[in-house]
Amino acid sequence: MKVGAHYLNDARCQFTVWAPLREKVAVKIWSPNEQVLPMQPLEYGYWQVVAEGVTPGTRYVYQLDGESDRPDPASYFQPEGVHGPSAVIEQSAFAWTDGGWTGIAQEDLIIYELHIGTFTPEGTFEAAIAHLPRLKELGITAIEIMPVAQFPGERNWGYDGVYPYAVQNSYGGPEGFKHLVDACHQAGLAVILDVVYNHVGPEGNYLGDFGPYFTKKYGGDWGEALNFDGAYSDGVTDYFLDNALYWLETFHIDGLRLDAVQGIFDLGAKPFLDELSDRVEVLSQQQGRRLFLIAESDLNDVRIIRSKEQGGYALDAQWCDDFHHSLHTLLTGEQQHYYQDFGRCQDLEKSLREGFVYSGQYAPHRKRRHGNSSAAELAEKFIVYIQSHDQVGNRILAERLPKLTSFEGLKLAAGTILLSPYLPMLFMGEEYGEEAPFFYFISHSDPELIQMVQRSKEEEFEKVGMAGDPYDPQSPEPFQKSKLNWEQQYTGKHQVLWEFHHHLITLRRTIPALKQLDKHCLEVSSRETDKLILMHRYAEGSQVFYVINFGDRAASFEADPHSQNWRKILDSSEPKWLGSSSTLPEKLTAHESAEIPAKTFALYEASV
């Protein structure tokens, strides 16, 4: 049963809601003429009525048992925020121009994660459109948008959303979002949307008034877990399954990034993720374009990405945290929290070869064995990165990588990610070394909730012994400080770093050995004493090898033996990349010794 307000044209609208424990439900229409229409009970706890005299823009709520008035749990638009009435919209009114769009092949994904509110000074969908040509010029093929489901106020990361179907009003609402997606497709960019199916935010969350959406059976990290496997769970499961298809169908989204799937608790015979991948595969075939499901998972469990025949959920890809942690510790030397499980070149070596670093061995930070082997999984199943909203924003001072490593370190990070055998992802501004922080920010209206978040931030500062006052996430200041400084990318070192990223992406897309994502066509080794990674990749008629020196001193190495003639095509120590000097030879022969400067990335291609 499709929930929500479905406009039927001719001033008629069908309202459907799931409220299995209510004795009577009515839709209360506020404008243009106030009326209360009793809804008819249907099977499995659904209620429905067709109302006359209802046009797009009409405000409405549901009246439960003649007492409380609540916005629609499947509202498509909340023009007055999370506590206001829902609004009827005409989904078919938008004039799409992307009829020829066929999508992006998975192996061609180069992802750019962004937050609409801080991506531009205006913080709207419409304002973001102006920057699409620059992303296309860089070589990006897909943008990944942090959650846009309606959240309280105007400032939020999006993970406090409480109306999964409603597009945030302060960003431009559903009309603005469609404009952005349409413009992306016209520019040749796919759109991946971050969705949250493991919890619902606290303020404006009225789902529990309608039915048993939540369960106390599991201890969720963000409040009560969603009820995917208990009594009445069919209605909850269908609500979120239909939500996924809603974004893909109605908004022409190309893929969904599923937030923290380890928080989706479901012990049913047909778990939510299993059913979701089936539904999306059917829709993909119907529409004739590839639709992606990407997981964020803390489990290091290949069942997330394995095929149904292998007993998996068949999601298309997942974020690879181990790759990030391995690279981050080498660049920064940090060893606190989960970083204590990493820090060796052999960790990055294993991640470059397999994906997961922890594949069943003991993890000191977790105090248990962790993960299973991903060695047999396709390279295109893993998304790698050095910055993301989590890895920046969850730091106590929200520092980006330029505050944690040198300019040479930024180039090492770019080379390692963009020339890896996996799908690379950049966090907005990373391509030019954006130095603004990306804080955690909110704009709640509930005083108790605001104080709780503020106390949490204070305790976080005290725990690490930070002097001074912690920043206030409720204040507009952290939000404003988190906005990108777009003008930076056209001057000085920022422009050089942008050009470096652009060059790396061009190499990735034009050299067959780099373009082909195949774990079987690579060899990687490391030397711990020198903080050195050496990698050989090949495809038919194409070979490259590259050397990455994470150390603070020069180190010697031998040219890869698979070719007698190697020609240098990238050297991060060259002056044009603001390196101190280039000492690496332009040509090398098999087993020939050379010395690579400290903090340098060098790429050689086999020449005939």
pLDDT score recorded for residue 340: 96
User: Could you tell me if residue 234 is inside a domain?
Assistant: no
Side chain identity at 169, as an amino acid letter?
Answer: N
Q: What confidence tens digit (pLDDT) does each residue in 511-554 have? A: 999 999 999 999 999 999 999 999 999 999 999 999 999 999 99
Tokens of 82: 């999370």
Residues 251, 166 contacting (CB under 8 angstroms): no
Same domain, 323 and 450: yes
Last residue of a domain, one of 35, 64, 91: 91
Give which of 581, 545, 572 is closest to 560, Cα–Cα.
545
Q: What confidence tens digit (pLDDT) does each residue in 61-84 have? A: 999 999 999 999 999 999 999 999
pLDDT score recorded for residue 466: 66
User: Could you tell me if residue 218 is inside a domain?
Assistant: no
What angle, rounded to 10 degrees, do the helices at 233-250 and 272-287 form? 30
CATH number, domain of 290, equals 3.20.20.80
Same domain, 410 and 272: yes
Q: Is the peptide bond before 32 cis (omega within 30 degrees of 0)?
A: yes
Q: What confidence tens digit (pLDDT) does each residue in 212-243 have? A: 999 999 976 777 899 999 999 999 999 999 99
Give me the sign of the Cα torsion angle 341, 343, 344, 346.
Answer: positive
Same domain, 314 and 423: yes
User: Could you tell me if residue 373 is inside a domain?
Assistant: no
User: Could you tell me if residue 233 is inside a domain?
Assistant: no
User: Could you tell me if residue 222 is inside a domain?
Assistant: no
Q: What confidence tens digit (pLDDT) does each residue in 153-197 have? A: 999 999 999 999 999 999 999 999 999 999 999 999 999 999 999
Same domain, 135 and 48: no
Same domain, 265 and 145: yes
Give which of 401, 385, 406 is closest to 324, Cα–Cα.
385
Annotated catalytic sites, by residue? 259, 296
Range of the structural domain that residue 286 is part of: 110-205+245-294+306-343+383-501
d(CA 317, CA 329): 24
Q: Which residues of the chain have pLDDT under 70?
A: 32, 220, 465-468
d(CA 79, CA 62): 16
Same domain, 463 and 556: no
Give SS3 for 414: helix
pLDDT score recorded for residue 467: 59
pLDDT score recorded for residue 593: 97
d(CA 151, CA 138): 32
Q: How many domains does the chain have?
A: 3
User: Could you tell me if residue 81 is inside a domain?
Assistant: yes
Helix (H) or strand (E) holding 317, with range, is strand 317-319
